[in-house]
């Protein structure tokens, strides 16, 4: 599969050429740099130096912290995660890749942990980790290759050093969110905060203002130089002001100073050059450090109207008139310029852009709209380009996004055309592999940012197709048709484009239930839910979701100790390679060793065919049953959730029972391996509240009231092999089924897992309903339903699959088809004398003599052969045995010998 993506990428490559002469903007009167040495000097002066008037300050400049932040010690699990899960990252000058460190891990893990701990304790980053090979990469969509700003320097650093940097970055990112060091709408290098999240926030605010009869104005700006312009002294002062601990600040000071690079240009590596400022692009910690460096920028004025992703910033103003908006943006821009001048930060003068959003006719002409002015800077709307590009989304004045869809469709079509050369009807890449390439490389590009711009197929009120959807579908149809041609997905009609957009937007909305409380999208979703007003496309999607749980994926810090899955499964008695019978025998033997005074709870969950879920538990002590309960959860839970809820309910009932004072341990036995593994671990998934409540209950068990001679004990989890006729587990299963069949309490909140199932089911149901109205008659006759994500027939070779698709559609080497298009040179008859037809292979008597066809009535057998994946495989085998299209019914008559 990787080869397919590599080939797709190869089609977009421009080849390898030596870089052109470079002009030095800092020395406009000098001649262009021609030699490698001269080019390196130009790149260093323009990309690796800060040109701001305010210079750097000493590293020990005094600062008054506004708070005191905690930074944890390093654990072995964090060290292994930061190195072993780094992926295939490019090595630095030492040329030691990740795979070597993985092999050497048993021998070096203790020494690496000591190294990392020592570096952070004394505040020192080793010199060898601060040396980088600087790869000069051309920026995409740049036309002037003689400008050094058309290139991006990427630092190739030591993999071992990047492990430490990645560890620090992960911890600092969590602390920055949890303690609100960064503004809510400042994104980049932070978990669960994507560029599309930010553009969705912006689109919701603007659309809400337009629907209220207001106007909005957007001003975008870009920090010049970004990482390469960071001044170490000012960065250290900023970190001290924010309250980061001294040892961490010292380590960052060491990381940001004393750096050296060797520039690799045109295949040659130059001499070592010392760098006085900047953070290396390519280091995992550079992103979060840069964000902390410019953090005050996003707290100026009203933070709600400021958006930032790395070095891209945007200011939004909303009012009843564009003139008022421009006054607010002028003040905001002047404030940013003043702050930047004092802090050594400059903004790229050619990156200022302004766009006014309004539905008034008088505001549509960009030559007549007001401008933003700050000092000598004047920013007006672009009169030649009717849109503004920010974070990959093209905004227009009325939020129709027609320019955005047109551009993404054009890009996707380019990739789709490139994939066409990877195969034809008979030869080429296997269809199922090419289908994956189409989904990842073509449709993903065509629908980029759909959660931001997709308006939905219908509008509020009477059900009708949105006119905006119709415009978007026209542009995307050609992309999909071209892509389908290569992956044989002729059953996926272009009409399904709207459902693809709906599905992407719906799944993105479901994701909102798994965002932390500080995320701006979650805050907007909560406001929409409280107002219950469909003020934007985002609001319509929020209000369409059923009531469900909200998960906080950042509830636990990344350094929080976590039990490995292997250790957890060993603790609960997981199968670990044993058969179910052996595991059942082992459990029965283990059960006999449990003291009779201990409490044993058997719990289970169940889900009926109609979707109702329930749970149940049975309690035993001194070999007597003293507890039994059935619980109903309705349609809002999966089996996983029901199992977790039942285990919690059983434990709560046991600890509240009077005889708990006699028990040392509380045993929770259940047959769901995943729930048993996670019950005592921090949870960031479905039923998070139940898992957290169980952990709290387990921590409180030793503190319960008990007899003086009774030990404190603990809560123990044990996995039970299901459906092995263990009486207690069967009784719990019966109680769970009773709970599922009973009337659920009202209202019932859905779990996150159930919400995901609901979203997928809703998308599939809508697609199937639409398919029944648009499916070709031949597909309806064959009873072909909507295609699954990966149709089984795509496993066939291209030639056999091509014959099957031709028989399904009627488009192929058939007499009616040739006559319809006046193909004078076509041969219309089979060797048996019958006219070529889509279903002739089944009735040809010559083919019958060569190999028997599958038994059964023709109507049923044909539908099976052409309408199912298993049937297509059998048909391909039969066609190969009979050589039907080679000898019996070839495209052209066979030459006589």
Q: Under a CB-based contact definition with an 8 Å cutoff, are residues 100 and 164 in contact?
A: no
Indicate whether 51 pLDDT > 80: no
Q: Under a CB-based contact definition with an 8 Å cutoff, are residues 260 and 270 in contact?
A: no
Q: Which of 262-266, 375-379, 581-585, 734-738 has the lowest mean pLDDT?
A: 262-266
CB atoms within 10 A of CB 622: 13
pLDDT at 464: 46
pLDDT at 415: 85
pLDDT 10s digits, 509-519: 999 999 999 99
pLDDT 10s digits, 63-114: 999 999 999 998 888 998 888 777 777 888 888 888 888 888 889 999 999 9
Picking from 295, 248, 16, 312, the residue whose alpha carbon sits closest to that of residue 119 is 248
Picking from 788, 787, 813, the residue whose alpha carbon sits closest to that of residue 799 is 813
Picking from 669, 660, 683, the residue whose alpha carbon sits closest to that of residue 716 is 669
Crossing angle of helices 246-256 and 98-122, rounded to 10°: 120
pLDDT at 491: 42
pLDDT 10s digits, 692-746: 999 999 999 999 888 888 899 999 999 999 999 999 999 999 999 999 999 888 7
State which H helix or E strand residue 76 sits in: helix 76-84
pLDDT 10s digits, 631-686: 999 988 999 999 999 999 999 999 999 999 999 999 999 999 999 999 999 999 99
Q: Kindly report the backbone phi and psi dihedral angles of residue 399, in degrees, each rounded to the nearest multiple of 5, phi listed first.
A: 60, 40
Indicate whether 263 pLDDT > 80: yes
Picking from 869, 803, 860, 787, the residue whose alpha carbon sits closest to that of residue 836 is 803
Average pLDDT of the chain, as a whole number: 88
pLDDT at 334: 95
Q: Kindly report the backbone phi and psi dihedral angles of residue 438, in degrees, each rounded to the nearest multiple of 5, phi listed first.
A: -65, -45
Measure the CA–CA gap between 568 and 808, rounded to whole angstroms: 52
Measure the CA–CA gap between 516 and 174, rounded to whole angstroms: 11
Measure the CA–CA gap between 812 and 11, rounded to whole angstroms: 30
Residue reference for tokens 């309960």: 629
Q: Model's pTM, two decimal places?
A: 0.88
Task: Give 664-714 as a 3 state SS string.
Answer: CCEEEEECCHHHHHHCCCCCCCCCHHHHHHHHHHHHHHHHCCCCCCCCCCC
pLDDT at 465: 44
pLDDT 10s digits, 222-251: 998 888 888 999 999 999 999 999 999 999
pLDDT at 235: 95
Q: Which of 405-409, 757-761, 762-766, 821-825 has the lowest mean pLDDT?
A: 762-766
CA angle centred on 211, ends 207 and 217, rounded to 5°: 50
DSSP 764-785: HHHHHHHHHHHS-HHHHHTT--
C-alpha dihedral (375, 379, 380, 384), degrees to nearest 10: 140
Ordered by start, the domain boundaries in the chain are: 36-390, 400-513, 565-755, 777-888
Indicate whether 492 pLDDT > 50: no
pLDDT 10s digits, 119-164: 999 999 999 999 999 888 888 777 888 888 888 888 899 999 999 9
Cβ neighbours for 2, distance < 8 A, ≥ 6 positions apart:
none
Q: How far is CA 753 from CA 523, 549, 750, in A?
A: 22, 10, 8
User: What does DSSP assign to residue 556?
Assistant: S
Indicate whether 413 pLDDT > 60: yes
Q: Kindly report the backbone phi and psi dihedral angles of residue 347, in degrees, each rounded to the nearest multiple of 5, phi listed first.
A: -115, 140
Picking from 312, 343, 446, 487, the residue whose alpha carbon sits closest to that of residue 54 is 343
CB atoms within 10 A of CB 762: 14
pLDDT 10s digits, 286-315: 999 999 999 999 999 899 999 999 999 999
pLDDT at 892: 86
Q: For the residues 170-198, what does the mean pLDDT come to?
A: 95
pLDDT 10s digits, 277-291: 788 988 999 999 999
In the chain, % of residues over pLDDT 70: 92
Name the CATH architecture for the domain at 565-755. 2-Layer Sandwich (3.30)
Q: Which of 46-55, 202-211, 766-775, 865-874 has the lowest mean pLDDT?
A: 46-55
Strands (E), 234-384: 259-265, 268-275, 306-309, 312-319, 353-357, 372-374, 377-379
């Amino acid at each position: 599969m990787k080869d397919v993506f590599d080939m797709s990428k190869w089609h977009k490559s421009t080849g390898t050429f030596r870089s052109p002469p470079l002009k030095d903007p800092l020395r406009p009167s000098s001649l262009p740099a021609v030699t490698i040495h001269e080019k390196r000097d130009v790149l260093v002066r323009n990309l690796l130096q800060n040109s701001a008037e305010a210079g750097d300050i000493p590293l020990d400049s005094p600062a008054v912290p506004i708070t005191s932040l905690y930074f944890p010690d390093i654990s072995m699990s964090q060290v292994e995660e930061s190195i072993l899960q780094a992926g295939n990252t490019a090595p630095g000058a030492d040329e030691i890749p990740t795979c070597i460190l993985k092999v050497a891990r048993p021998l070096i893990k203790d020494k690496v942990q000591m190294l990392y701990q020592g570096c952070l304790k004394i505040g020192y980053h080793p010199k060898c980790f601060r040396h980088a090979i600087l790869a000069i990469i051309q920026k995409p969509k740049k036309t002037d290759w003689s400008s050094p700003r058309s290139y991006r320097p990427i630092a190739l650093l030591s993999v071992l050093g990047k492990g430490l940097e990645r560890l620090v970055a992960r911890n600092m990112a969590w602390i920055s969110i949890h303690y609100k060091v960064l503004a809510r709408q400042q994104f980049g290098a932070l978990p669960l905060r994507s560029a599309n999240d930010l553009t969705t926030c912006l689109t919701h605010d603007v659309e809400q203002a337009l629907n209220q009869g207001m106007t909005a104005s957007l001003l975008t700006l870009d920090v010049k130089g970004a990482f390469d312009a960071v001044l170490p002294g000012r960065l250290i002062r900023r970190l001290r002001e924010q309250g980061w601990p001294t040892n961490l600040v010292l380590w960052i000071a060491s990381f940001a100073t004393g750096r050296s690079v060797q520039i690799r240009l045109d295949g040659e590596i130059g001499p070592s050059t010392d760098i006085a400022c900047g953070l290396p692009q390519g280091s995992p910690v550079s992103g979060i450090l840069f964000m902390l460096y410019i953090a005050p920028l996003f707290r100026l004025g009203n933070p709600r109207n400021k958006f930032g992703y790395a070095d891209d910033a945007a200011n939004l103003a909303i009012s009843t008139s564009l003139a008022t908006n421009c006054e607010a943006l002028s003040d905001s821009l002047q404030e940013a310029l003043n702050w930047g001048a004092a802090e050594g930060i400059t903004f790229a003068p050619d990156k200022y852009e302004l766009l006014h959003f309004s539905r008034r006719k008088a505001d549509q002409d960009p030559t007549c709209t007001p401008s933003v002015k700050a000092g000598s800077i004047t920013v007006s709307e672009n009169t030649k380009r009717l849109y503004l590009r920010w974070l990959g989304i093209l905004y227009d004045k009325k939020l129709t996004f027609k320019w955005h869809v047109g551009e993404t469709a054009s890009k996707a079509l380019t990739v789709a055309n490139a994939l066409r050369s990877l195969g034809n009807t008979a030869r080429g890449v296997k269809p199922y592999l090419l289908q994956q390439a189409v989904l990842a490389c073509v449709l993903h590009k065509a629908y980029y940012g759909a959660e931001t711009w997709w308006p939905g197929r219908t509008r509020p009120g009477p059900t009708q197709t949105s006119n905006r959807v119709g415009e978007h579908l026209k542009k995307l149809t050609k992309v999909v048709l071209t892509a389908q041609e290569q992956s044989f997905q002729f059953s996926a009609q272009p009409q399904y484009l709207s459902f693809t957009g709906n599905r992407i937007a719906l799944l993105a909305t479901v994701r909102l239930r798994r965002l932390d409380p500080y995320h701006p999208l979650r805050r907007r979703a909560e406001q929409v839910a409280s107002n219950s007003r469909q003020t934007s496309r985002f609001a319509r999607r929020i209000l369409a979701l059923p009531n469900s749980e909200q998960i906080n994926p950042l509830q636990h810090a990344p350094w929080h100790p976590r039990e490995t899955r292997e250790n957890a499964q060993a603790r609960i008695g997981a199968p670990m390679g044993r058969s179910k019978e052996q595991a059942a025998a082992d459990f029965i033997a283990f059960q006999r060793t449990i003291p009779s005074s201990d409490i044993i709870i058997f719990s289970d969950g169940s889900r009926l065919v109609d979707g109702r879920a329930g749970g149940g538990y049975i309690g035993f002590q001194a070999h007597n049953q003293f507890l039994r309960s059935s619980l109903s959860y309705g349609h809002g839970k999966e089996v996983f959730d029901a199992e977790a809820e039942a285990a919690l309910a059983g434990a709560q009932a046991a600890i509240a029972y009077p005889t708990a004072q006699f028990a040392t341990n509380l045993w929770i036995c259940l047959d769901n391996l995943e729930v048993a593994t996670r019950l005592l671990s921090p949870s960031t998934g479905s039923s998070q509240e139940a898992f957290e409540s169980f952990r709290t209950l387990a921590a409180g068990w030793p503190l319960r009231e008990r007899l003086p001679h009774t030990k404190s004990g603990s809560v123990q989890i044990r996995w039970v092999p299901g459906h092995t006729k263990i009486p207690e587990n069967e009784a719990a299963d019966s109680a769970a089924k009773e709970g599922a069949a009973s009337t659920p309490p009202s209202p019932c909140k859905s779990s996150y897992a159930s919400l995901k199932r609901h979203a997928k089911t809703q998308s599939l149901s809508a697609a199937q309903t639409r398919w029944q109205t648009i499916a070709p008659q031949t597909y309806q006759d064959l009873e072909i339903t909507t295609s699954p994500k990966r149709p089984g027939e795509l496993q066939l070779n291209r030639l056999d699959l091509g014959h099957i698709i031709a028989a399904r559609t009627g488009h192929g080497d058939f007499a009616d088809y040739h006559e319809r298009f006046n193909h004078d040179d076509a041969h219309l008859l089979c060797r048996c004398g019958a006219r070529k037809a889509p279903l002739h292979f089944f009735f040809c008597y010559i083919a019958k003599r060569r190999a028997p066809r599958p038994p059964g009535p023709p109507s049923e057998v044909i539908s099976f052969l052409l309408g199912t994946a298993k049937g297509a495989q059998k048909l391909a085998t039969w066609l190969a045995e009979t050589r039907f299209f080679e000898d019996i019914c070839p495209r052209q008559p066979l030459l006589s010998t």
